[in-house]
Amino acid sequence: MSLIGRQPICDAHYAIIGYDILFRDEAELSDYSAISTSAFVLDRILNGFGLENVLGGYLGFLKVDIEFLCSEIVATIPQKHFILMILESSLFHPELENTIKILSLKGYRFGVNNCVLNSETMERIHLLHPWLEYVRIDALRNEYGSDKFKKLKEMNQTLIALKVETNEVFEQYKDYGVHYFQGYYIKRPYTIENESLSMSQEQILQAWNLLQCDADISEIVQKLEQNHVLVLQLMQFINSSYFSFSSTITSVRQVISLVGRKTLSNWLLLMLVSNKVDTSTNHPLLLMVINRTEIITGLLRLSSPKYSREELDTAYLVGMLSLIHLLLNMDHRIFLHKLHVSDEIEEAMFEAQGKWGQLLTMTRAIENMDYGSIKPFIDHYKINIDQMDALIVQAMEKVNAFDAMLQNKF
């Protein structure tokens, strides 16, 4: 069984410019040559998942080696959608220079994948730079030093820093003039800017709690309608293309009758962060929230075919609450206490206990392409590759749709 995923590549303001295509296999690629791996991934994208679903209108960064580039398979690549990132193992191959020169004339675009900036690599990049656009640098394997970055920029190379895990590393590479970044720097989780919310946000949470407690509909409507701007934003949010209702919804009461209290309460939290977040800066993390909620609810469907509506709503809530505090710059436990969540949900968040803890752990494993952690789960619940493919592509579709909604400001 094999899994394909993607990781966003962002600029210094957190705006996505492309996706790095990730691949993990049961045999950890031991049974695949590099050429067959690249061909397999390309085939899954084009003929399985669908190009638009995987890339969502952004560039795709696909890892390739010299054998792949010399094969006929390369002709199947949609040139304008992909950057072909040359693996470190092929960087010094004697045929590489002539191969990428010929392919560049045909419209193919190239970069160097995950390199260490030693003297030999720098000399090789200098030789190849007329046909290269991107150099991806492994932030965990390079010592700091701005001279090499300066030389690469003089060669008109666009620089990507990979494995940027901390804000310190992010700031360091930004100072070097690196253009784009990959890794978990997307949000600085150790920075807690506040432990309180705005009046409008507090009103959303009060309405959320009323919905959770099955309060009278009139009381819920009255609470929301205390803020006319909030109700207008809610209507814009609910009527956006992301939700695809067949007719326009015009009132809070109508929303509750159509979708139910639990679903509306979850959407209120989503709207809360969607309104607060500047999509040009926190876009990737907000999309990660959507991906996580889709994956965790999909895993519930696959592992518990007789799931209830209430369980589906709880799974969605667990996925959202595992990340939403970062978008609000709040301590995780403080935010959960504001929502008065159950002990069961807190245990899932912090101790990975119970049914929801297991589903959240598996969701994180899928995000990280941690096949070793995923396999026992899928074996236990007899989940096959087609089901996992369908789950992953559905999550990608939802993320892409939400991305489009944000760009259109609802």
pTM: 0.87
Question: Residue 27's pLDDT is what?
Answer: 52
Question: Domains plus CATH for the chain?
Answer: 2-186 (3.20.20.450), 199-407 (1.10.3210.10)
Contact 54, 45 (CB under 8 A): yes
Question: Residue 186's pLDDT is what?
Answer: 60
| Per-residue pLDDT of the chain in tens (410 residues, 90 and over written 9) | 668 889 999 998 888 999 999 887 655 444 445 566 788 899 989 988 999 999 999 999 999 999 999 999 999 999 999 999 999 999 999 999 999 999 999 999 999 999 989 999 999 999 999 999 999 999 988 875 789 999 999 999 999 999 998 888 899 999 999 999 998 766 544 444 455 677 777 888 888 888 888 889 888 888 888 878 878 888 888 998 888 888 899 998 898 888 888 888 888 888 888 876 665 554 788 899 999 999 999 999 999 999 999 999 999 999 999 998 888 878 899 889 888 889 999 999 999 999 999 999 999 999 988 888 999 999 999 999 889 999 999 999 999 999 988 887 67
First vs last C-alpha separation in the chain: 38
Question: Residue 346's pLDDT is what?
Answer: 94
Question: And the tokens for 241?
Answer: 């293309």
What are the angstrom distances between the C-alpha of 58 and each of 3, 82, 85, 371? 20, 9, 16, 26
Alpha-carbon distance 113 to 131, whole Å?
A: 14
Question: Residue 224's pLDDT is what?
Answer: 82
Please give the radius of gyration of the chain, using alpha carbons only, rounded to the nearest integer: 23
Contact 206, 219 (CB under 8 A): no
Quick one: angle between helices 283-303 and 385-407, nearest 10? 150
Please report which helix (H) or strand (E) contains residue 262, including its range.
helix 261-276
Question: Residue 173's pLDDT is what?
Answer: 92
Question: Residue 326's pLDDT is what?
Answer: 82
Helices (H), 241-342: 252-259, 261-276, 283-303, 309-321, 324-327, 332-339
Contacts of 217 (CB under 8 A, 6+ apart): 253, 256
